[in-house]
């Protein structure tokens, strides 16, 4: 009975151990046959596919896999398998392991030298082709690491070769990354290239992939936010800008775009708040002053709006947009002499012709109707069909008590477009003042029946 138990124990313990060792040696022999014919990748596949780390012969196989990776210039993968090699008291295995580690270590050190050289040249922005050469030299030492691929991609991006850059980024993303943060950083560069190619939808996709790896990557959040902004998805954009701000409260650009998003969504008070924060961190941001001024004006806060536009005009005295906006603020503050002064300055700066509409309106309010009429007559020669211009022309004639001339100009205008509420209102007033009661009554009866939207007579930004 004891003899039987001993044989059974030998069968269940010793035979599997011997068979595992024989199997391991057989695998190594098969892999070696591939290596001799230059098929290292096939050799790796044979070993990786047919053993388990628990096998007694696994240390020998791990060492061989590490060597194959090292030979293929995939140094990080080689290190992983060397670290898995349990050398114990096996002096031969230990010796082989140290020898293999030394080779990989030397290559890795040289690889790092080339990588650092590439980054250093690229940072200087002088000889970008030399940077590419350094990264290519690194690839000859280690083809399994992402850094050199990404480095070449970044150089190509700087050269404006975004399509070529994407090829290298795509190679990089399949390689070994030491952390999710670094892989997310690669997706960030891919998104930048897509933005440069004006493919904001693709940029958002790469941002999403990167943010799945690192949800707090400020670069990815900011790129996605700006891409949403360019697609007029202001709510989505602002959500991401706010995330960036939470991670980096002093990010002036994120505050600006958050304010701009609020402005687009007509949330003017939040726009003012965000743009004010932008100015706190970047007191010279002209776009922030411009947008905040517009937000103030949209809230009818002309005093504060004027202050922002005054800052812009002080920085650039020829900024006719800012000076025109100052004139608008003065107009609605009923400071008409100052409004006229600003609008006259705009006209002297070769601003677009339509800005003269604001000057005419200011002249009329400032009892300078003769000056207003001069501009109106210029319009009559070149913009006779412009409804907005025709209305102020007629009103200017009425202010000068030239009702007959106003009536003639109005009737000529109505021949071109009779169904204009403002024309009918002016006709009613002119006919009443001229004593044509029946004509005035007819004009009044037609006003309520017209469904066309009234002319926008707001001052022009």
Quote the CA–CA distance of 241 and 109 in Å, as a whole number. Answer: 41
Confidence of residue 364 (pLDDT cuts 50, 70, 90): very high
- Inter-residue contact 100 to 63 (CB < 8 Å): yes
Label residue 5 by pLDDT band (50, 70, 90). Answer: very low
The per-residue pLDDT for range 165-197, each reduced to its tens digit, is 999 898 888 887 878 988 998 999 999 999 999
Provide the pLDDT confidence category of residue 60 given band limits of 50, 70 and 90. low
pLDDT at site 422: 86
Instruction: Give CA–CA dist 267/130, Å, rounded.
Output: 50
Average pLDDT over residues 330-342: 96
Q: What is the pLDDT of residues 387-406, one digit of tens each?
A: 889 999 999 999 999 999 99
Q: Roughly what angle, to the nearest 10 degrees, separates helices 320-332 and 356-365?
A: 30
Report the distance separating Cα 312 and Cα 316, nearest Å: 6
> Tell me: the pLDDT tens digits for 69-117?
656 656 566 656 656 665 555 555 555 556 655 555 566 666 565 666 6
Q: What is the DSSP string of 299-339?
A: TT-HHHHHHHHHHHHHH-TT-HHHHHHHHHHHHHTT-HHHH
Average pLDDT across the chain, whole number: 82
Beta bridge partners of 145: 176
- Flag whether pLDDT at 11 surpasses 50: no
Query: Residue 259: its pLDDT value, please?
Result: 98
pLDDT one-digit tens code per residue, 231-248:
999 999 999 999 999 999
* pLDDT value of residue 17: 45
Q: Where in the chain is the domain with CATH 1.25.40.10?
A: 24-106
CATH number of 371-461: 1.25.40
Which class is domain 24-106?
mainly alpha
Say yes or no to pLDDT of 49 above 80. Answer: no
- What is the percentage of the chain residues whose pLDDT exceeds 90? 48
Long-range contacts of 377-386 (CB under 8 A, 24+ apart): 380/409, 384/416, 385/416, 385/417
Q: What is the pLDDT of residue 73?
A: 58
Query: What are the structure tokens assigned to 383, written together?
Result: 């913009």
Taking alpha carbons only, the member of 157, 135, 132, 155 closest to residue 147 is 135
């Amino acid at each position: 009975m004891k003899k039987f138990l001993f044989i059974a124990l030998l069968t269940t313990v010793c035979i599997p151990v011997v068979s595992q060792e024989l199997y391991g040696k057989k695998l190594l022999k098969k892999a070696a046959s591939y290596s001799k014919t230059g098929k290292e990748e096939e050799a790796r596949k044979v070993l990786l596919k047919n053993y388990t780390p628990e096998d007694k012969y696994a240390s020998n196989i791990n060492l061989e896999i590490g060597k194959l990776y090292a030979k293929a210039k995939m140094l990080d993968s080689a290190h992983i398998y060397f670290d898995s090699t349990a050398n114990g008291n096996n002096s031969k295995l230990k010796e082989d392991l140290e020898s293999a580690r030394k080779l990989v270590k030397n290559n890795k050190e040289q690889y790092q030298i080339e990588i650092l050289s590439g980054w250093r040249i690229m940072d200087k922005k002088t000889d970008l082709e030399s940077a590419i050469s350094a990264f290519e030299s690194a690839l000859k030492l280690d083809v399994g690491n992402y850094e050199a691929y990404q480095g070449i991609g970044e150089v190509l991006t700087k050269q404006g070769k975004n399509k070529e850059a994407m090829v290298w980024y795509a190679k990089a993303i399949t390689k070994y990354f030491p952390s999710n943060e670094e892989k997310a950083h690669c997706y960030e560069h891919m998104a930048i290239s897509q933005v440069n190619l004006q493919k904001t939808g693709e940029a958002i996709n790469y941002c999403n992939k990167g943010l799945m790896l690192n949800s707090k990557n400020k670069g990815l959040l900011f790129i996605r936010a700006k891409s949403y902004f360019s697609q007029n998805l202001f709510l989505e954009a602002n959500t991401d800008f706010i995330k960036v701000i939470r991670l980096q409260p002093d990010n002036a650009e994120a505050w600006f775009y958050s304010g701009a998003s609020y402005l687009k969504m007509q949330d003017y008070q939040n726009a003012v708040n965000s743009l004010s924060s932008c100015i706190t961190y970047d007191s010279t941001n002209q776009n922030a002053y411009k947008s905040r001024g517009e937000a103030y004006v949209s809230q009818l806060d002309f005093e504060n709006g004027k202050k922002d536009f005054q800052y812009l005009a002080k920085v650039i005295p020829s900024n006719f947009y800012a000076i025109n906006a100052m004139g608008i603020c003065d107009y609605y503050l009923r400071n008409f002499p100052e409004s006229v002064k600003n609008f006259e300055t705009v006209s002297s700066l070769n601003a677009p012709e339509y800005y003269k509409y604001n000057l005419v309106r200011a002249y009329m309010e400032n009892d300078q109707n003769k000056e207003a009429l001069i501009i109106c007559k210029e319009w009559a020669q070149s913009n006779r069909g412009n409804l907005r211009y025709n209305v102020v022309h007629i009103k200017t004639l009425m202010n000068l008590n030239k009702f007959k001339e106003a009536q003639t100009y109005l009737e000529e205008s109505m021949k071109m477009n009779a169904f204009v509420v403002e024309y009918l209102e002016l006709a009613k007033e002119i006919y009443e003042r001229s004593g044509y009661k029946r004509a005035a009554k007819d004009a009044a009866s037609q006003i309520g029946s017209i469904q066309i939207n009234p002319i926008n007579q707001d001052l022009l930004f």
